[in-house]
Chains A and B, each alone.
Chain A
Amino acid sequence: MRGDVRSRRVVVVPDVVVNPPDGASDRLSDVALCGWGVVALPPSDLPADIAQPLVTAAVDQVIAFLDGGYEVALLPCADDPGMRRFVAALAASGRTVADLA
Protein backbone atom coordinates (compact mmCIF):
# COMPACT_ATOMS: atom_id res chain seq x y z
CA MET A 1 0.00 0.00 0.00
CA ARG A 2 1.21 3.52 -0.78
CA GLY A 3 -0.90 5.19 1.88
CA ASP A 4 -2.80 8.38 1.24
CA VAL A 5 -0.45 11.26 0.45
CA ARG A 6 -3.09 13.67 -0.84
CA SER A 7 -2.74 17.07 0.83
CA ARG A 8 -6.50 17.72 0.76
CA ARG A 9 -5.66 21.32 -0.09
CA VAL A 10 -6.68 22.74 -3.46
CA VAL A 11 -6.15 26.23 -4.81
CA VAL A 12 -7.95 27.66 -7.83
CA VAL A 13 -5.58 29.56 -10.12
CA PRO A 14 -6.07 31.65 -13.26
CA ASP A 15 -4.35 30.74 -16.50
CA VAL A 16 -1.81 33.52 -16.07
CA VAL A 17 -0.43 31.65 -13.06
CA VAL A 18 -0.20 28.36 -14.95
CA ASN A 19 1.32 30.08 -17.97
CA PRO A 20 3.11 33.16 -16.63
CA PRO A 21 4.44 35.72 -19.09
CA ASP A 22 8.16 35.82 -19.72
CA GLY A 23 9.98 37.26 -16.74
CA ALA A 24 7.09 36.80 -14.30
CA SER A 25 7.51 34.75 -11.16
CA ASP A 26 6.42 31.09 -11.28
CA ARG A 27 3.64 31.11 -8.68
CA LEU A 28 2.46 27.67 -9.77
CA SER A 29 5.76 26.13 -8.72
CA ASP A 30 5.51 28.05 -5.45
CA VAL A 31 2.10 26.59 -4.56
CA ALA A 32 3.32 23.18 -5.71
CA LEU A 33 6.19 23.32 -3.25
CA CYS A 34 3.69 24.02 -0.45
CA GLY A 35 1.76 20.86 -1.28
CA TRP A 36 -1.30 22.42 -2.86
CA GLY A 37 -3.04 20.86 -5.81
CA VAL A 38 -4.49 23.25 -8.35
CA VAL A 39 -7.65 23.69 -10.36
CA ALA A 40 -6.50 25.71 -13.37
CA LEU A 41 -8.99 28.05 -14.99
CA PRO A 42 -9.17 28.45 -18.77
CA PRO A 43 -7.48 31.44 -20.44
CA SER A 44 -9.51 34.62 -20.00
CA ASP A 45 -9.43 35.36 -23.73
CA LEU A 46 -11.03 32.06 -24.71
CA PRO A 47 -14.33 32.48 -26.59
CA ALA A 48 -17.28 32.24 -24.21
CA ASP A 49 -18.81 29.20 -25.91
CA ILE A 50 -15.63 27.24 -25.15
CA ALA A 51 -14.76 28.86 -21.81
CA GLN A 52 -18.15 28.61 -20.13
CA PRO A 53 -18.39 24.79 -20.06
CA LEU A 54 -14.79 24.64 -18.83
CA VAL A 55 -15.65 27.04 -16.00
CA THR A 56 -18.72 24.95 -15.21
CA ALA A 57 -16.49 21.88 -15.00
CA ALA A 58 -14.13 23.73 -12.66
CA VAL A 59 -17.06 24.72 -10.43
CA ASP A 60 -18.30 21.12 -10.32
CA GLN A 61 -14.87 19.92 -9.29
CA VAL A 62 -14.47 22.55 -6.60
CA ILE A 63 -17.86 21.58 -5.19
CA ALA A 64 -16.74 17.94 -5.12
CA PHE A 65 -13.68 18.96 -3.12
CA LEU A 66 -15.70 21.14 -0.74
CA ASP A 67 -18.23 18.37 -0.18
CA GLY A 68 -15.38 15.96 0.45
CA GLY A 69 -14.08 18.16 3.26
CA TYR A 70 -11.04 19.47 1.39
CA GLU A 71 -9.64 22.95 1.98
CA VAL A 72 -10.21 25.04 -1.14
CA ALA A 73 -8.87 28.56 -1.72
CA LEU A 74 -8.50 31.07 -4.52
CA LEU A 75 -5.12 32.41 -5.46
CA PRO A 76 -5.79 36.15 -5.10
CA CYS A 77 -6.20 37.55 -8.62
CA ALA A 78 -9.33 39.68 -8.34
CA ASP A 79 -8.41 41.67 -11.43
CA ASP A 80 -8.18 38.58 -13.62
CA PRO A 81 -11.28 38.23 -15.86
CA GLY A 82 -11.06 34.43 -15.77
CA MET A 83 -11.04 34.40 -11.99
CA ARG A 84 -13.97 36.83 -11.85
CA ARG A 85 -15.91 34.58 -14.22
CA PHE A 86 -15.20 31.55 -12.03
CA VAL A 87 -16.14 33.32 -8.79
CA ALA A 88 -19.44 34.43 -10.33
CA ALA A 89 -20.22 30.90 -11.52
CA LEU A 90 -19.36 29.45 -8.11
CA ALA A 91 -21.58 32.03 -6.41
CA ALA A 92 -24.42 31.13 -8.77
CA SER A 93 -24.16 27.57 -7.44
CA GLY A 94 -24.54 28.91 -3.90
CA ARG A 95 -20.92 28.39 -2.91
CA THR A 96 -18.05 30.69 -2.03
CA VAL A 97 -14.35 30.17 -1.50
CA ALA A 98 -11.95 32.54 0.29
CA ASP A 99 -8.65 33.80 -0.99
CA LEU A 100 -5.51 31.93 -0.04
CA ALA A 101 -4.16 33.56 3.11
Chain B
Amino acid sequence: MRTVCYLAHCLLNANAKVDEGARCQGVHSPVLALLRDHGCTIRQMPCPELAFGGTRRFWAVREQYDTPAYRAHCRRLAEPVAAQMRADLAAGARVIVIGIDGSPSMGVELTAASDEWGGRPDKPRDEDYPVTLGAGLFTEALLDLLSGVVLGVRVVGIGQDLFDYDEAAELAKLDAMLGGAAGDAG
Protein backbone atom coordinates (compact mmCIF):
# COMPACT_ATOMS: atom_id res chain seq x y z
CA MET B 1 0.00 0.00 0.00
CA ARG B 2 1.29 3.43 -0.94
CA THR B 3 1.74 5.92 1.90
CA VAL B 4 1.04 9.55 1.01
CA CYS B 5 2.32 12.15 3.47
CA TYR B 6 0.87 15.65 3.47
CA LEU B 7 3.46 17.95 5.00
CA ALA B 8 3.08 21.33 6.61
CA HIS B 9 4.56 23.74 4.09
CA CYS B 10 7.49 24.77 6.29
CA LEU B 11 8.88 21.24 6.54
CA LEU B 12 9.95 21.68 2.92
CA ASN B 13 10.40 25.43 3.15
CA ALA B 14 11.49 26.99 6.42
CA ASN B 15 11.44 30.36 4.66
CA ALA B 16 7.72 30.40 5.38
CA LYS B 17 8.38 30.54 9.12
CA VAL B 18 8.34 33.73 11.17
CA ASP B 19 11.61 35.46 12.02
CA GLU B 20 13.54 33.23 14.45
CA GLY B 21 11.03 30.44 13.98
CA ALA B 22 13.02 28.41 11.45
CA ARG B 23 14.95 25.32 12.47
CA CYS B 24 16.85 25.08 9.16
CA GLN B 25 17.58 27.12 6.05
CA GLY B 26 14.98 25.59 3.75
CA VAL B 27 14.06 21.92 3.44
CA HIS B 28 14.15 20.03 6.73
CA SER B 29 16.45 17.29 5.48
CA PRO B 30 16.02 14.82 8.37
CA VAL B 31 12.27 14.62 7.75
CA LEU B 32 12.81 14.37 4.00
CA ALA B 33 15.34 11.56 4.47
CA LEU B 34 12.94 9.70 6.76
CA LEU B 35 10.12 9.95 4.23
CA ARG B 36 12.45 8.82 1.45
CA ASP B 37 13.60 5.85 3.56
CA HIS B 38 9.97 4.78 3.97
CA GLY B 39 9.20 5.23 0.28
CA CYS B 40 6.47 7.78 0.95
CA THR B 41 4.78 9.96 -1.63
CA ILE B 42 5.22 13.56 -0.50
CA ARG B 43 2.72 16.37 -0.84
CA GLN B 44 3.20 19.90 0.51
CA MET B 45 0.24 21.72 2.01
CA PRO B 46 0.01 25.50 1.64
CA CYS B 47 1.10 27.71 4.54
CA PRO B 48 -1.99 29.64 5.62
CA GLU B 49 -0.05 32.18 7.66
CA LEU B 50 2.38 33.07 4.85
CA ALA B 51 -0.38 33.83 2.37
CA PHE B 52 -2.32 35.78 5.00
CA GLY B 53 0.37 37.72 6.84
CA GLY B 54 3.38 37.63 4.52
CA THR B 55 7.00 37.01 5.41
CA ARG B 56 7.24 39.85 7.93
CA ARG B 57 4.42 38.75 10.22
CA PHE B 58 5.04 38.58 13.95
CA TRP B 59 4.80 35.47 16.06
CA ALA B 60 1.19 34.99 17.03
CA VAL B 61 -1.03 32.74 19.05
CA ARG B 62 -4.21 31.08 17.93
CA GLU B 63 -6.48 33.71 19.42
CA GLN B 64 -4.87 36.43 17.27
CA TYR B 65 -5.62 34.50 14.08
CA ASP B 66 -9.02 33.22 15.13
CA THR B 67 -11.27 35.47 13.06
CA PRO B 68 -13.98 34.59 10.55
CA ALA B 69 -11.77 35.88 7.73
CA TYR B 70 -8.80 33.72 8.72
CA ARG B 71 -11.00 30.66 9.25
CA ALA B 72 -12.48 31.19 5.78
CA HIS B 73 -8.96 31.57 4.37
CA CYS B 74 -7.91 28.28 6.02
CA ARG B 75 -11.00 26.51 4.73
CA ARG B 76 -10.42 27.81 1.19
CA LEU B 77 -6.85 26.48 1.27
CA ALA B 78 -7.86 23.21 2.92
CA GLU B 79 -10.63 22.33 0.45
CA PRO B 80 -8.41 21.21 -2.46
CA VAL B 81 -6.05 19.48 -0.02
CA ALA B 82 -8.96 17.52 1.42
CA ALA B 83 -10.15 16.67 -2.10
CA GLN B 84 -6.69 15.40 -2.98
CA MET B 85 -6.62 13.31 0.20
CA ARG B 86 -10.00 11.81 -0.63
CA ALA B 87 -8.68 10.88 -4.09
CA ASP B 88 -5.59 9.25 -2.54
CA LEU B 89 -7.75 7.31 -0.08
CA ALA B 90 -10.08 6.22 -2.88
CA ALA B 91 -7.02 4.96 -4.77
CA GLY B 92 -6.16 2.77 -1.81
CA ALA B 93 -3.34 4.85 -0.35
CA ARG B 94 -2.67 5.41 3.31
CA VAL B 95 -2.76 9.13 4.12
CA ILE B 96 -0.72 10.76 6.87
CA VAL B 97 -0.87 14.46 7.74
CA ILE B 98 2.32 15.86 9.26
CA GLY B 99 1.66 19.15 11.01
CA ILE B 100 3.67 21.38 13.34
CA ASP B 101 2.93 21.11 17.02
CA GLY B 102 3.00 24.50 18.70
CA SER B 103 1.75 26.29 15.59
CA PRO B 104 -1.42 28.36 15.84
CA SER B 105 -2.40 27.12 12.38
CA MET B 106 -0.69 23.79 11.74
CA GLY B 107 -0.66 22.34 15.27
CA VAL B 108 -2.01 18.82 15.71
CA GLU B 109 -1.89 17.99 19.41
CA LEU B 110 -0.46 21.28 20.67
CA THR B 111 -1.18 24.80 19.50
CA ALA B 112 0.03 28.23 20.55
CA ALA B 113 -2.65 29.88 22.65
CA SER B 114 -2.96 32.74 25.11
CA ASP B 115 -5.69 35.14 26.11
CA GLU B 116 -3.06 37.71 27.04
CA TRP B 117 -1.11 38.06 23.78
CA GLY B 118 -1.81 41.22 21.82
CA GLY B 119 -0.68 44.77 21.39
CA ARG B 120 3.05 45.51 21.39
CA PRO B 121 4.92 42.43 20.12
CA ASP B 122 7.31 42.15 23.04
CA LYS B 123 6.96 38.49 24.00
CA PRO B 124 10.31 36.69 23.75
CA ARG B 125 9.87 33.36 22.04
CA ASP B 126 12.29 31.55 24.29
CA GLU B 127 10.61 32.53 27.54
CA ASP B 128 6.87 32.36 27.34
CA TYR B 129 5.55 31.12 24.00
CA PRO B 130 2.40 29.57 25.38
CA VAL B 131 0.92 26.32 24.09
CA THR B 132 -2.10 24.32 25.01
CA LEU B 133 -3.66 21.03 24.00
CA GLY B 134 -5.53 21.24 20.73
CA ALA B 135 -5.16 21.62 16.99
CA GLY B 136 -4.32 24.70 14.96
CA LEU B 137 -6.89 26.54 12.88
CA PHE B 138 -5.87 25.10 9.49
CA THR B 139 -5.69 21.58 10.92
CA GLU B 140 -9.18 22.04 12.36
CA ALA B 141 -10.53 23.18 9.00
CA LEU B 142 -8.87 20.28 7.19
CA LEU B 143 -10.14 17.64 9.60
CA ASP B 144 -13.63 19.14 9.41
CA LEU B 145 -13.56 18.86 5.62
CA LEU B 146 -12.50 15.23 5.93
CA SER B 147 -15.58 14.21 7.85
CA GLY B 148 -16.64 10.77 6.73
CA VAL B 149 -13.13 9.66 5.84
CA VAL B 150 -11.19 11.25 8.69
CA LEU B 151 -10.78 7.90 10.45
CA GLY B 152 -8.73 6.76 7.47
CA VAL B 153 -6.29 9.64 7.89
CA ARG B 154 -3.51 9.56 10.46
CA VAL B 155 -2.35 12.90 11.83
CA VAL B 156 0.91 13.66 13.61
CA GLY B 157 2.58 16.87 14.72
CA ILE B 158 6.31 17.56 14.66
CA GLY B 159 7.03 19.88 17.58
CA GLN B 160 9.15 22.41 15.73
CA ASP B 161 7.25 25.34 17.24
CA LEU B 162 7.81 24.16 20.80
CA PHE B 163 10.51 25.72 22.95
CA ASP B 164 11.63 22.29 24.19
CA TYR B 165 11.73 20.76 20.68
CA ASP B 166 13.59 17.46 20.77
CA GLU B 167 14.44 16.59 17.18
CA ALA B 168 15.55 13.03 17.86
CA ALA B 169 12.35 12.27 19.76
CA GLU B 170 10.16 13.89 17.11
CA LEU B 171 11.84 12.00 14.28
CA ALA B 172 11.49 8.76 16.25
CA LYS B 173 7.78 9.46 16.66
CA LEU B 174 7.39 10.03 12.93
CA ASP B 175 9.51 6.99 12.12
CA ALA B 176 7.31 4.84 14.33
CA MET B 177 4.17 6.10 12.62
CA LEU B 178 5.60 5.53 9.16
CA GLY B 179 6.85 2.11 10.19
CA GLY B 180 3.44 1.30 11.57
CA ALA B 181 1.93 2.42 8.31
CA ALA B 182 4.21 0.05 6.43
CA GLY B 183 3.41 -2.72 8.89
CA ASP B 184 -0.32 -2.20 8.53
CA ALA B 185 0.07 -2.44 4.79
CA GLY B 186 1.56 -5.88 5.16
Q: Which of B24-40 contact A (CB under 8 A)?
A: 24-27, 29, 32-33, 36
A39 contacts B32, C-beta separation under 8 Å: no
A64 contacts B51, C-beta separation under 8 Å: yes
Of B14, B56, B77, B79, the contact of A37 (CB 8 Å cutoff):
B14
B25 — which chain A residues lie within 8 A by C-beta? 5-7, 9, 35-37
Contact of B125 with A by CB under 8 A: yes
Q: A9 to B36, alpha carbons, bound, how many Å? A: 23
A37 contacts B26, C-beta separation under 8 Å: yes
B46 contacts A54, C-beta separation under 8 Å: yes
Of A32, A64, A68, the contact of B29 (CB 8 Å cutoff):
A32
**How many positions in chain B have a CB within 8 Å of any CB in the partner chain?**
42
Q: Which of B15-23, B103-111, B174-182 contacts A (4 or more CB under 8 A)?
A: B15-23
Contact of B153 with A by CB under 8 A: no
A50 — which chain B residues lie within 8 A by C-beta? 80, 83-84, 87
Whether A39 touches B44, Cβ cut-off 8 Å, given contacts A54-B80, A57-B51, is: yes
Given contacts A9-B15, A64-B50, 5 further A-B contacts (CB under 8 A): A32-B32, A38-B12, A54-B81, A65-B15, A68-B54
Provide 24 A-B residue pairs closer than 8 Å at the C-beta atoms, listed in order of the A residue: A2-B23, A4-B22, A5-B14, A5-B25, A6-B15, A7-B25, A7-B26, A10-B13, A18-B44, A36-B27, A37-B14, A37-B15, A37-B27, A38-B12, A38-B44, A50-B80, A50-B83, A57-B51, A60-B51, A61-B9, A61-B16, A65-B55, A68-B54, A70-B15
